[in-house]
Amino acid sequence: MSALLSSLDAEEKELLHCESAPTWKTPMLATLTEDRFSDPGWLYERKFDGERCLGLREGATVRLLTRNGKDAASTYPELIDALGAQEATSLVVDGEVVAFEGARTSFATLQGRSGLTDPEQARETGIDVFYYVFDLLHWDGHDLTGLPQRTRKNLLRRALTFEDPLRFSTHRLEHGEEMHEEACAKGWEGVIAKRAEAPYQHGRSTDWLKFKCVRDQELVVGCWTDPRGSRAGLGALLVGYHEDGALHYAGKVGTGFTERALSELRTELDRISAEEPPFVDREALPRSGVHWVEPRLVAAIGFTEWTRDGRLRHPRFQGLRRDKRARDVVREQR
């Protein structure tokens, strides 16, 4: 057993399990809540506006996988280099890849790296990326997910050498409400609250909670409309969410697009054209100038509020999410 794990007490060592280096672990996901609270039994971390990724290393082999298991090594080659430079040769870490706009993490800025599969091209974008690591799931032939959250973070801090672009995701103890207020004042996404004694669970859990500062929602693209005036590519996206096995219409999104986004979106949408609308509530859909698509693409949409009839008010396109499956998109309740 490594020196790092030997430092655990007897009770914690009982929670370790020997395992071969895993090729994948299903990430733990947070549950959205309106309840802001302070509790000494919880840790509070910054919520980043980026792309969730697992970093895996076994010997000289280093991989970076998105939340739905897609290979992101060529998109973020400097992060592969950073993990490969660590002394540890058997590990799995969980974290968020981010880019910055000023002092704020920006998913829109990170979109400049999205979909790139040539490492040199990715580096040449000039978009600096950082990997904020917040959990340690495997180390030295042992599964650590049964350990308490607090213990895993303590091990993580000592396990890696944190130098840019690899950063440790710091946390605060007990004062969740105060951290949420500060996060919103700084323009952050929000705060993630984590139960200090909880194990790492594969899937969504109420042991991790999201305190959001801004309203946004991942939604499925089901249609695009014809462009008007001088705009090229498309006019707007029609988006929706799954409920009871059906895709429900959530509204039309016509702002937030860059020229590049319009061009790239149109190319992708043309590839997945369909004859029929994928939405179940067809009576609410526009009748002309529309082009239906298979519901495969997931978009991040910012908005002010949900209307009573289940539509987005003042929606704005933020970018495509490559790390989430369309069938998993549901309406987040607040």
Known catalytic residues are 47
Cβ-based neighbours of 126, under 8 Å, separated by 6 or more: none
Closest CA to 304 of 292, 313, 296: 313
For 10-65, give the secondary structure using H, E and C.
HHHHCCCEECCCCCCCCCEEEEECCCCCCEEEEEEEEECCCEEEEEEEECCEEEEE
- CB-count exposure of residue 217 (10 Å: 0-12, 13-18, 19+): buried
CB atoms within 10 A of CB 219: 29
Is the Cβ–Cβ distance between 34 and 89 less than 8 Å?
no
Please, where are the H alpha helices in the chain? Answer: 3-6, 10-13, 77-84, 107-110, 119-124, 149-159, 176-185, 259-271
CB atoms within 10 A of CB 271: 10
CB atoms within 10 A of CB 163: 9
DSSP single-letter state for residue 331:
P
Residues for the chain: how many in total?
334
Q: Residue 86 has which token pair?
A: 């660590």
- CB-count exposure of residue 276 (10 Å: 0-12, 13-18, 19+): exposed
For 84, 93, 278, the CA distances from 326, given in Å and listed in that order, are 32, 25, 12
